[in-house]
A and B are shown apart, each in its own frame.
Chain A
């Protein structure tokens, strides 16, 4: 079965600085894949290159077998791939409901949008209570929820989540990951979870480790949980 997303030999950087040196990852429909790495490893750069914000210098990105390398995000959203950016990408001056509405920008079918609202408020009752609240005044955890709900509005088949745990307490991070598990189960969306925190390993059926722009470790199934030890070495060095 052809994977939903296939990243092949991706190379990218910023001007003089090359950050990615041939990253290859693939994601099957409906699975949760974790991309782990410490800061500066190139996680966000990978997502940027995949979603057309950064033009890769080499390599390909295939969505359902189609080459979408360098395509604009609008195109990708229509094809069912949505990014939840680092820092959540809140439109701070707009309300919760307006943020959600924008999540459904590419959806033409009115009834589909209405159904999407229902699903969003169902999974995230906190947002239903606050639909007229200005997004900038939400707490970090609530913003995370809004970001995920917004991403769901276009019924994506694949969610790319960039460091959902950033700025969240460990408890809220757990909640966020639970939500992702639920989204994966109920909405059937595959998830590429880009993270620094090991809790992500509990969700994933497969995990990749990124270090200084290269994939240095891969694990599947049961082996994923054992990665924690190896991650420790990757982050803190051998002396630990």
Chain B
């Protein structure tokens, strides 16, 4: 039970990124491999400003602010990526979009290495160091916040899609972008929305995950975005609920495997097996709709 809770908290952070991935996929049909690095980049900046002070101001950023910086920079990066790159690939075969996001991930990761060094950057928790005991598991502050954030995101997105006009527009674009355009829905704004929110969520996830992972390393983020991608694939690439549930499942399995085996890296192996099994047995994912990919 304790493991279950710990696993869920890990999965919650993956879920935040996975929701962004699915949002982008649903809205724009593009599969983004760059979410991990987009999230990490902002966090790197935030941590640097916290550690060495904001350039020109000399003011050291309080830890909580690093989280907001990560979210803001993530959103900004999402905006830039959509505007400069992804918008031009809307009519291209999906593979082009994937390769572009890989290029962006590579670019950001190498830039991080160049500017922030290749060593692991110490990432203290932005939300304090309190702990909570739940069902026998001890959860650190970032993990609790991740769980709460994932729940909040799920609720907010639900309300957004069902109750707001723009949310309806996003759903229309997902259903049929051509028809949505014909009705006057600003499809380009929908694309932008998907990428900005995806970027913001990635930043939030990075800030909450890095403390648990022992710090922030260039390229480690692409590694953890594998978990999020896996979660999205398992849950269904075009289902937000699927992304959340799939990621939670990945988190639980990863924690369980790590806890019961002393061999290094078996959790990666477990994720690989999960992905392959899903792709072979039910390619659309548990909650995905047929013909989506």
Q: Pick the residue among A72, A78, A102, A106 that contacts B180 (CB under 8 A).
A: A102
Please name all residues of chain A whose beta carbon is closer than 8 Å to the beta carbon of B183 when the two chains form the complex.
73, 77, 102-103, 105-106, 150
Residues of B within 8 A of A57 (CB): none
Q: Are A93 and B171 touching (Cβ within 8 A)? A: yes
Q: Which residue of B lies closest to A135 (CB)?
A: B175
Q: How many residues of A contact B (CB 8 A)?
A: 23
B175 touching A73, Cβ below 8 Å: no
- Chain A, residues 71-93, CB within 8 Å of chain B (1/0): the string is 01110011000010100011111
Inter-chain CA distance A93–B178, complex, in Å, is 15
Q: Are A89 and B184 within 8 A (Cβ)?
A: no
Say yes or no: A77 contacts B184, CB within 8 Å: yes
- Is A101 an interface position by the 8 A CB rule? yes
Q: Are A83's CB and B182's CB within 8 A?
A: yes
Query: Which of B165, B174, B178, B184 is packed against the most chain A CB atoms within 10 Å?
Result: B184
Residue pair A91, B184 in contact (C-beta under 8 Å): no
Across-interface contacts of B184 in A (CB, < 8 A):
73-74, 77-78, 105-106, 154
Contact string, A93-129, partner B, CB cutoff 8 A, digits 1/0? 1100010011101100000000000000000000000
* Interface contact A89-B169, CB-CB below 8 Å: no
8 A Cβ contacts from B180-212 to A: 180-186
Contact A102 B185, CB 8 Å, known A91-B172, A94-B171, A94-B172: yes
CA distance A89 to B172 in the complex (A): 11
Looking at chain B's contact residues, is the secondary structure mostly helix, strand, loop, or mixed? helix
CB distance from A83 to the nearest CB of B (A): 6
In the docked arrangement, what's the CA distance between A91 and B185, Å?
Answer: 13
A53 interface hit (Cβ, 8 Å): yes
- Please judge, given known A-B contacts A73-B184, A74-B184, A105-B184, whether A85 and B179 are in contact too, CB under 8 Å: yes
The residue on B at minimum CB distance from A151 is B183
B152 within 8 Å of A (CB atoms)? no
Nearest-CB residue, chain B, relative to A92: B175
- Interface: A51 (CB within 8 A): yes
Interfacial residues, chain B to chain A (CB-CB below 8 A): 165, 168-169, 171-172, 174-176, 178-186
